[in-house]
Amino acid sequence: MIRADVGYQMDFPSDPPQRTATPPGLAEALRVQPLEVWAGQYLIAIVADEEAVRGISPDLAALGQVASAATGGRGNVGVSALASPGAPYDVISRFFAPGSGIAEDPTTGSLHCILAPLFADKLGRARLGFHQAYPGRGGDLVCEVRGERVLIEGRAVSLIESRLRLEL
């Protein structure tokens, strides 16, 4: 992690997703019909618009089962759409992680390792603004795809500081 213009920048491996068929039960678990479904480390559902992303209230137990069966992974799902016109970001998302014991994560770096290459291709540019719309908190990130890497910039807050002492 290094200091950036605003906050910090981290360098992660890119996880470009592959387009896939909508898994049975996904629309019912999300309670919204995906327009596209992609799979990387997580299942990604692209929905119609920003309002649909913000309004999602999924059946988390069902969502975890559907996503786990579809990816062979834990059962975590990102939901995303292009931002509304005039928004200060390009893409909006939310991340539901019932397979990891988290109903919804406020800001998820690993999700953006999937979303950044996906939307960089869709929008034809490597640097994009993202807003993860966790209700009441969320986070704003700037992601840049650089070959097989994704640079993620955003603000960070220290939650804990500690020291580890080892006696050899």
pLDDT of residue 156: 74
CA dihedral (114, 50, 79, 39) positive or negative? negative
Phi, psi of 28 (to 5 degrees): -70, -40
Where the chain has pLDDT below 50, the residues are none
**CATH 3.40.50.300 assigned to 2-154:** no
Collect all residues with Cβ–Cβ distance below 8 Å to 93 and sequence separation of at least 6.
53, 78, 79, 80, 81, 111, 112, 115, 130, 131, 132, 133
pLDDT at 4: 64
Alpha-carbon distance of 93 to 88, in angstroms, equals 14
- Give the pLDDT score at 87: 96
Query: How far is 149 from 74, CA to CA, in rounded Å?
Result: 23
Distance, CA of 86 to CA of 19 (rounded, Å): 28
Q: Which helix (H) or strand (E) holds 70?
A: helix 60-71
Domain boundaries, the chain: 2-154
Give dist(CA 58, CA 26) in Å, integer.
10
Cα three-residue angle 77-50-130, rounded to 5 degrees: 70
Work out the burial of residue 17: count CB atoms within 10 Å of its CB; fewer than 13 is exposed, 13-18 middle, 19 or more buried.
buried
pLDDT per position as a tens digit, 20-60: 999 999 999 999 999 999 998 999 999 999 999 999 999 99
d(CA 34, CA 38): 10
Given this model, what pLDDT does residue 1 score?
61
- Residue 82's pLDDT is 98
Instruction: Name the one residue in this structure whose structure tokens are 């005039």.
Output: 86
Q: Are 39 and 71 in contact (CB under 8 A)?
A: yes
